[in-house]
Homo-oligomer: A and B are copies of this chain.
Amino acid sequence: MSLSTPAAATEVPAGQRDRATHELRDRLIDAALVEFAASGFDGASTRAIARRAGAHQPQINYHFASKEDLWKATIERLLSEFDELIPLLAGAPPRDQFAAVIRALVEFAAIRPELNRIMIHEATSSSDRLEWLVETHLRWRAGPLLEVWDEVVAVGGAAPVPRELVYHLLIGASALLNANAPEARMLFGIEPTDACIVAAHADALVAMFLPTHP
């Protein structure tokens, strides 16, 4: 009926309508994730998000209850992508598990810098959004990571990093290069998403966090 209905016609009307809905909803999230990552929650405007999605601004309030609701949807989209990449290595030696997590973090930061950008923006001050982020998404994900670290420390071959600091040292060292990629490009003329940079980055962190690793 309108210019935003995409291809793939031959289908039940109801299904078609649902499909169209989801597609704009998804496009809005795609656009929001970039804008929120670039400017933070307050700095990003719903108009800019709608424009990037090729939609009109009021459509955001049709598909989402509020700007904050859209923000939460983008977080959940990004975290589900994140979870797909994170390896499940229960049973493997602790150091192999932790090394695999390091590599996955570095890789994800390169292909999807937006998640870390949004989190870094959000965590600079207390807010209801940060509390929501921590309590519903971060705490249960961080727990297992620290437990694996404890095991690595017990087994030996871990850098002398206290468990309360591992999370932020690891996220900082793995995420900042890509979260702040525009700065890295200007300062050093590098492209942080290049495969060789990603590999060197991951190797460096594995060597630093797991020093006696082969």
Contacts of A180 in B (CB 8 A): 119-120, 123-124, 168
Write out, one digit per residue, whether chain A residues 129-163 have a CB within 8 A of any chain B CB (1) or not (0): 01101110011001000000000000000011110
Does A205 sit within 8 A of B, measured CB to CB?
yes
- Closest chain B CB from A140 CB (angstroms): 11
Question: CA–CA, A170 to B182, complex, Å?
Answer: 17
Contacts of A138 in B (CB 8 A): 183, 187
Partner pick for A134 among B175, B187, B205, CB 8 A cutoff: B187
Question: CA–CA, A135 to B162, complex, Å?
Answer: 37
Q: List 3 tightest A-B contacts by C-beta distance, closest first.
A: A172-B176, A42-B43, A172-B172
A interface residues, Cβ below 8 angstroms from B: 37-43, 117, 119-121, 123-126, 130-131, 133-135, 138-139, 142, 159-162, 164-165, 167-169, 171-177, 179-180, 182-184, 186-188, 190, 197, 200-201, 203-205, 207-209, 211
Q: Jot down 26 A-B pairs with beta carbons below 8 A, ordered by A.
A: A37-B124, A40-B43, A119-B183, A120-B120, A124-B182, A126-B182, A130-B186, A131-B186, A134-B183, A134-B186, A134-B187, A138-B183, A159-B204, A159-B208, A160-B203, A160-B204, A165-B204, A167-B187, A168-B180, A169-B177, A169-B204, A172-B174, A172-B175, A173-B173, A176-B176, A211-B211
